[in-house]
A = this chain, B = another copy of it.
Amino acid sequence: MASREWYLTSSSIKGLLLDITGVLYNSGEGGGIPIKGSIDAIARLSKAGIPVRFCTNETQCTKQEIAGKLNRLGFSLNAANIFPPAPAVRLVAKQRGLRPHLLVHPGVLPEFSDVPQDSPNCVVVGDAAQEFSYENMNRAFQILMGMDKPILISMGMGKYYKEGEHLVLDLGPFTKALEYACDVKAEVVGKPSKMFFETALRDMGITADEALMIGDDIVSDVGGAQACGLRALQVRTGKYRPEDEPHETVTPDGYVDNLAQAVDLYLAHK
């Protein structure tokens, strides 16, 4: 579908899934900066009664903190509508009796406070950032090598994101490092995993073909959502780089300059 046409089918779109970082705001020092027009765009969706869920691979804090951070920037978000990977991993761990060794950011540890972590029988990787030290990578590696059948769970597979003015490494490369070292394939919980999108759709009570995903990650957001049967837009904000347009493997249902433009077009044609 050509990029100017996606909004002609707006009437069939009953709910929106939005990525957060790079769509609502850019992360950086002092809590980050809202992307121009995004605060108003979210408010207009709310006023129009459009269900919205926030489907993020943010793994540096709890979802209450994600909501708090965004609301301090001027958004008006309910934590219950935010779907990050950590609570999903917590659920998986409890269901399967996994005792994770957590290679994660200290800020997300509270999500795992009631999950047993002694004698770990799996490794969970989040966006550990500074915690991706050689020591911590070695510790995770040694735990995996000590298992008969290593279980590696990755909260997303993002390659990089924008932090202030710079692109910085996301968790995906470090998961790849452990996969290579241990000859193991990670289970991904978070985008682009199908289960992850479906959880948010179920919460809205709509089907994949009634939903539109908007994200800045062409592979995890756009490609991941399309693989689940959703339509998906690529924003030209966040980690978007002009050289990724067109992309080798993923063709979005449309490109938009930012979230505000997507919401304008959607609401105008709804």
Interfacial residues, chain A to chain B (CB-CB below 8 A) = 128-135, 137-138, 141-142, 145, 159-160, 166-169, 172-174, 176-182
Contacts and interface: CB of A to CB of B under 8 A. Distances in A.
A142 B167 contact: yes
Contacts of A138: 166, 168-169
B137 A132 contact: yes
B173 A178 contact: yes
B166 A176 contact: no
Given A132-B137, A134-B130, A137-B132, A181 B159 contact: yes
Nearest to A178: B173
Nearest to A140: B169
A8 to B, nearest CB: 33
Contact of A173 (B129, B168, B172, B177): B177
Given A176-B176, A176-B177, A181-B169, A141 B160 contact: yes
Contact of A167 (B145, B169, B173): B145
Contacts of A131: 134
12 contacts: A132-B133, A132-B137, A134-B169, A138-B168, A141-B167, A160-B181, A169-B181, A172-B180, A172-B181, A173-B177, A176-B176, A176-B179
Given A132-B134, A169-B177, A173-B176, 19 more contacts: A128-B134, A132-B133, A132-B137, A133-B133, A134-B169, A137-B169, A141-B160, A141-B173, A142-B167, A142-B168, A159-B180, A159-B181, A159-B182, A172-B181, A173-B177, A173-B180, A173-B181, A176-B180, A177-B177
